[in-house]
């Protein structure tokens, strides 16, 4: 994986972030989702490098090989604001004060926080298989709660850790044929680490508490994503089925929104890397 990419660890204010980076050209930051690591981009990143970009793929705070502070009672140590601050510091350490970005799944919430908190750093933002957290919660009904029950299970104290760590291979199921063997092996090692499991759960706990409050404050203040925004969603997942047109949901949040579906299941970077890379490259060069 990631041939001709450099692997390194970068210390931020209160975390140590594992990063893969390579290429030569305009910088692009790729943010993974749950329960993946930066390795999920192993098919997309080289395609973007071929198209003339510098590509940076970090493990988010607490995921994979990145480590952050111990969890806090208010979950703020793993909130998206803290993770977004990590990403700005990582990009600056690599020499990129301004950059474009794409975030998938949980990474899309970090991408939103980056665009809102650091508008001078983010020039374009792609949100993949995600809408703002508060949009999910405001639309939550029986169907959402039944299909996305893990959001509320993960929010419980201590119980999810005991359940998941009892047999992480049964809980987190992955297919090495579709994921790619090295990506699968890295993901499997991460999900077997109780510290990673705890951090991933804290991501969800923050999402339902401090992150939601941050978004509510943004909306009350009239904050919007000022840079161009691309919305992509997996046609064989349930985002559009649950909520309708994701682009319409994003319009109140951003000044310049466009988007379309990708013929893929949820993990589009692994299942549909070529269409995804084409869409991202076209957006980043528009």
Closest CA to 80 of 115, 55, 56, 45: 115
Query: Per-residue pLDDT tens for 94-104?
Result: 999 999 999 99
Does the annotation mark 74 as catalytic? no
Q: Quickly list DSSP for 90-127.
A: HHHHTT-SSEEEEEETHHHHHHHHHHHH-TTTEEEEEE
Contacts of 267 (CB under 8 A, 6+ apart): 36, 40, 178, 179
Within a domain: 23: yes
Query: Per-residue pLDDT tens for 220-235?
Result: 999 999 999 999 999 9
Within a domain: 131: yes
Chain center to CA of 1 = 20
Choice among 59, 86, 105, 218 that is catalytic:
105
Mean pLDDT confidence for 244-267: 97
Which pLDDT belongs to residue 216? 98
Query: Per-residue pLDDT tens for 168-212?
Result: 999 999 999 999 999 999 999 999 999 999 999 999 999 999 999
Choice among 34, 118, 184, 266 that is catalytic:
266
Within a domain: 1: no
Within a domain: 189: yes
Which pLDDT belongs to residue 77? 98
What is the CATH number for 220?
Answer: 3.40.50.1820
Closest CA to 6 of 80, 109, 94: 94
Within a domain: 198: yes
Does the annotation mark 105 as catalytic? yes
Where residue 40 falls among pLDDT bands split at 50, 70, 90?
very high
Whether residue 286 has pLDDT greater than 90: no
User: What pTM was estimated for this model as a whole?
Assistant: 0.97
Closest CA to 64 of 46, 37, 45, 82: 37
Mean pLDDT confidence for 63-83: 97
Domain containing residue 189 = 6-285
Closest CA to 111 of 132, 90, 89: 132
Within a domain: 40: yes
Within a domain: 115: yes
Count structural domains, the chain. Answer: 1
Q: To the nearest whole number, what is the mean pLDDT of the chain?
A: 97
User: To which residue do tokens 């499991």 refer?
Assistant: 197
């Amino acid at each position: 994986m990631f041939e001709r990419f450099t692997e390194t660890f970068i210390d931020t204010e209160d975390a140590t972030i594992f990063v893969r980076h390579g290429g030569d050209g305009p910088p692009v930051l790729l943010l993974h989702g749950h329960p993946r690591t930066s390795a999920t981009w192993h098919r997309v990143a080289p395609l973007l490098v071929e198209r003339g970009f510098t590509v940076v793929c970090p493990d988010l705070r607490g995921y994979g090989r990145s480590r952050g502070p111990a969890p806090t009672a208010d979950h703020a140590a793993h909130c998206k604001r803290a993770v977004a601050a990590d990403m700005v510091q990582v990009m600056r350490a690599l020499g990129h004060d301004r950059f474009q970005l794409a975030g998938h799944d949980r990474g899309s919430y970090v991408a939103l926080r980056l665009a809102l908190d650091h508008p001078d750093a983010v020039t374009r933002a792609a949100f993949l298989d995600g809408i703002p957290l508060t949009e999910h919660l405001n639309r939550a009904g029986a169907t959402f709660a039944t299909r996305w029950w893990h959001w509320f299970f993960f929010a419980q104290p201590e119980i999810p850790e005991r359940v998941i760590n009892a047999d992480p291979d049964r809980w987190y199921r992955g297919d090495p044929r579709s994921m790619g063997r090295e990506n699968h092996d890295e993901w499997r090692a991460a999900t077997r680490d109780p510290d990673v499991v705890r951090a991933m759960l804290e991501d969800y706990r923050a999402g339902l508490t401090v992150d939601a409050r941050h978004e509510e404050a943004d909306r009350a203040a009239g904050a919007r994503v000022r840079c161009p925004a691309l919305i992509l969603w997996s046609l064989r997942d349930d985002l559009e089925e649950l909520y309708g047109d994701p682009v319409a949901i994003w319009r109140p949040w951003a000044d310049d929104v466009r988007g379309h579906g990708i013929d893929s299941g949820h993990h589009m970077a692994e299942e549909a890397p070529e269409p995804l890379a084409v869409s991202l490259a076209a957006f980043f060069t528009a």
